[in-house]
Structure 1
Amino acid sequence: MLPLSYALRNLFRDKSRLLQTVGGSALVVLLVMAATALNGGMKQVLSASGSPRNAILLGAGSEESIQRSEVSELLGGIAEAGIRGVSETLGKPAVSTEIHYMSFIEIPNGARGQGLFRGVTPRALLVHPEVRILKGTFPRAGEVMLGRLAWRKLGLPEAELQPGKTVRIENTELKISGLFAAPGTVMESEIWAVIGDLRMISQRDTVSCVVLRMEEPKDFSEVDLFSQQRLDLELSALRESDYYAALGAFFKPLRVMTWITAGLVAAGAVFGGFNTLYAAFASRIRELATLQAIGFGRAAVFFSLMQESLIACLAGTMVASIIALVLLDGATIPFSIGAFTITISPQVAVAGLLTGILLGILGSVPPAIRCLKPSLPKALRS
């Protein structure tokens, strides 16, 4: 076998080609790591947003969008009295009557962004125990409370969406009462308001849904039975986890397009690597034949050429990993119903490493075979 030092010396023969190989592989690996992190982040936030213990009662036919649902504002009390297995905290049933409404929020300088509003009562905290108030207080009449990532979803300055600041929603001025966190869920991108205020802003006399937190996931059957028995209310019952799983399926084509884009760029980089490495190997055909003449087999020479490609691509992988950790890790990405945070997890790092190895192998094999194909006498005369 040829020593590793031989491959390392050859890498620096042509620094421009080395930079092309390292830069091209770094770009592809970075794109693959970004695609893996984006897909994982979106999938994670949607799967974590719904609790299997939470059941949603909404209008029949509106199972795909709570925002389109309309049910009577009296449904909360009816459901509380008619459904067994509802969780209680300090004697208060965990039943939350809610309005979900998409609209624009405007800050004093005139900038505005579109966000998801949730009209709630204090009982929403019993149904969504993952919500924690970070600053300020729960909203009262004339106030709103923002998720800690709402500024990113709205595309507005974070400093303008702090407690004490004033915002405008459809000609209604409201004060920000506080900020809340709900780690790993889309609720962190929402704007919570008093349900009465949001009913007035949205000009509706109905609510979107009633969310119940059950003692056990199996108690969902009680909610489902209630929705089937009360034909007069025209209801449909969904597990909250199933609702967000359906949203995940809705966004699947977007995730697939991310992978297709990464695949096309990777394919282009591989073909570009063919040309770069063939040019590098072809200029050394006589040298490679000389190595064979002095006793090194074709397999040993082939392995050495592959080492050169692998080292260059792994160097690009290291560069891409550093860039990903600096620029992507912890970045917040908005999408239509919320925002999620990118994490460069071990799975993402492994995906990048495997991509770098595949690039090194796939990019070197065809050029190496082609350059070693001529017979030894012909190669020595070239």
Structure 2
Amino acid sequence: MLPFTYALRNLFRDPARLLQTVGGAALVVLLLIAAVALNEGMNSVLENSGSTKNVILMGKGSEESIERSEVPLSAESAVATSVRGLQEVLGVSAVSGEIFYQAPLHIAQGKESQALLRGVLENALLVHRSVQLIDGRFPQSGEVMVGHLAHRKLGVAEEDLAVGESLYFGDTELKIAGRFIAPGTVLESEVWFDRNDLAVLTQRDSLSSVTVRMDAAEFEDVEVFTLQRNDLELAAISEQGYYDKLSTFYEPIKVMTWVTAALVAAGALFGGLNTLYAAFAARIREMATLQSIGFTRKALFVSLIQESLLATLTGTLVAFILGYFILDGLAVPFSIGTFTLTLTPSVIGVGLITGVLLGTIGTLPPAIRCLAPSLPSALRSS
């Protein structure tokens, strides 16, 4: 076998080629880990947003869009008194009638951005257990409460949504009374209104949904209630099931992310192959000379793979460093919320596997071509 230092020295014979190989590998790995992190982040936030203990009641025929759903106001009290086994806190049933609305909000500095608004009463905290106030208090009339990632969704600085600042819904000024967290869920990107305020502002006399939290009750108990109360025209769906449907809805976006990453990666890969073909073709006589002094083709092949692996794994390391500073912790807004990119072990694993494959499988065609000529022909090559 050739010494490892031979492969290491050959890397620096052509600094421009080395830079191109390392840069190409870094680009491919960075794109792939970005695609994996993007898909993992979206899947994670949608999975974590739904609780197995929560059931959502929506209007029949609107199960796929809670914003288009209409539920009578009377449904909230009806389900609280009719379904046994719901969770209770100090005698109050965990039942929350809510209004959902997508609308632009104006920030005091004149910025206008689309936001997901949720009209709630204090009962919402009995249902959405992940919500925790970190500053201020629950909103009263004329006030709102914002999630700690809402500024990402709205595209403004975090201090613009501090407690005491103002938001405008049309011409109506609303003071920010509190800020909350709901780790890993879409709730963190929402703006919560007093339900009565949002009903007046949107001219609604109905709810969008009623969410209940079960204790001894089961999903079938809530479903039986919807069948018994045909006058309310309700459909029951588990909260987890609702977000699973949303995940399916966003599947084309995930596919397009992979396709885009694959196309750019393919371009970088073919560019890298051309570079290797040119570099190895210029070394055919060198390889033949090494064979003539006793080194086998297998040994030469392994040395070429080592050389390529050193370059691609260096590029992989560069991609991880860039990913750590550019991608890790980056909040990405989408239509119903915001998710955070994280360099999880699976993301890092995909990057490492990609770097190894680039240095091995990507090197096979040019290496085989370099070593294919017979020894006499190779020694006569120019």
Give the TM bin, normalised by the shorter chain: over 0.9
Q: Report deviation, 1:171.
A: 1.7
**Alpha-carbon distance between aligned partners in 2 of 1:363 and 1:13, rounded to the nearest angstrom:** 20
Deviations 1:42-74 (A, max 9, x none): 000001100011011110001001100111111
**Alpha-carbon distance between aligned partners in 1 of 2:322 and 2:101, rounded to the nearest angstrom:** 38
**Alpha-carbon distance between aligned partners in 2 of 1:248 and 1:55, rounded to the nearest angstrom:** 18
Higher mean C-alpha displacement, 72-81 vs 9-18: 72-81
| Residues 271 and 363 in structure 1, CA contact (< 8 A), matched pair in contact too | no
Q: Secondary structure of the equivalent of 1:66?
A: coil
**Alpha-carbon distance between aligned partners in 2 of 1:362 and 1:255, rounded to the nearest angstrom:** 27
Q: Secondary structure of the equivalent of 2:96?
A: strand
Match of 2:160 in 1: 160
* Letter paired with 1:45: V
Q: Report deviation, 1:89.
A: 1.1
Count of matched residue positions in the alignment of Structure 1 and Structure 2: 381
* Letter paired with 2:150: A
Deviations 1:165-219 (A, max 9, x none): 0110122110000110000000000000110000011111111111000015x61
Of all paired residues, the percent bearing the same amino acid is 58
Match of 1:12 in 2: 12
Deviations 1:62-92 (A, max 9, x none): 1001100111111110110111111011211
What is the TM-score normalised by the length of structure 1? Answer: 0.98
The yes-or-no answer on 1:295 pairing with 2:294 is: yes
Match of 2:259 in 1: 260
**Alpha-carbon distance between aligned partners in 2 of 1:364 and 1:87, rounded to the nearest angstrom:** 61
What is the TM-score normalised by the length of structure 2? Answer: 0.98
Match of 1:322 in 2: 321
Pairing 1:1-382 to 2, within 5 Å after superposition: 1-215=1-215, 219-382=218-381
**Alpha-carbon distance between aligned partners in 2 of 1:121 and 1:375, rounded to the nearest angstrom:** 82
| Residues 58 and 71 in structure 1, CA contact (< 8 A), matched pair in contact too | yes
Q: Report deviation, 1:110.
A: 1.3
* Letter paired with 2:31: L
**Alpha-carbon distance between aligned partners in 2 of 1:260 and 1:273, rounded to the nearest angstrom:** 20
| Residues 135 and 163 in structure 2, CA contact (< 8 A), matched pair in contact too | yes
Q: Secondary structure of the equivalent of 1:355?
A: helix
| Residues 86 and 215 in structure 2, CA contact (< 8 A), matched pair in contact too | yes
Higher mean C-alpha displacement, 123-132 vs 266-275: 266-275
| Residues 52 and 241 in structure 1, CA contact (< 8 A), matched pair in contact too | yes
Q: Report deviation, 1:270.
A: 2.0
**Alpha-carbon distance between aligned partners in 1 of 2:179 and 2:116, rounded to the nearest angstrom:** 15
**Alpha-carbon distance between aligned partners in 2 of 1:308 and 1:265, rounded to the nearest angstrom:** 24
| Residues 105 and 112 in structure 1, CA contact (< 8 A), matched pair in contact too | yes
Root-mean-square deviation (Å): 0.9
**Alpha-carbon distance between aligned partners in 1 of 2:56 and 2:142, rounded to the nearest angstrom:** 27
* Letter paired with 2:55: A
**Alpha-carbon distance between aligned partners in 1 of 2:228 and 2:303, rounded to the nearest angstrom:** 74
Q: Report deviation, 1:27.
A: 0.6
Q: Report deviation, 1:269.
A: 2.0
| Residues 96 and 120 in structure 2, CA contact (< 8 A), matched pair in contact too | yes
- Which 4+ runs in 1 deviate beyond 6 A? none
**Alpha-carbon distance between aligned partners in 1 of 2:326 and 2:244, rounded to the nearest angstrom:** 29
| Residues 119 and 194 in structure 1, CA contact (< 8 A), matched pair in contact too | yes
Q: Report deviation, 1:157.
A: 2.1
Q: Report deviation, 1:351.
A: 0.6
Higher mean C-alpha displacement, 355-364 vs 344-353: 355-364
Q: Secondary structure of the equivalent of 1:68?
A: coil
**Alpha-carbon distance between aligned partners in 1 of 2:2 and 2:201, rounded to the nearest angstrom:** 76
* Letter paired with 1:119: G
Q: Secondary structure of the equivalent of 1:193?
A: strand
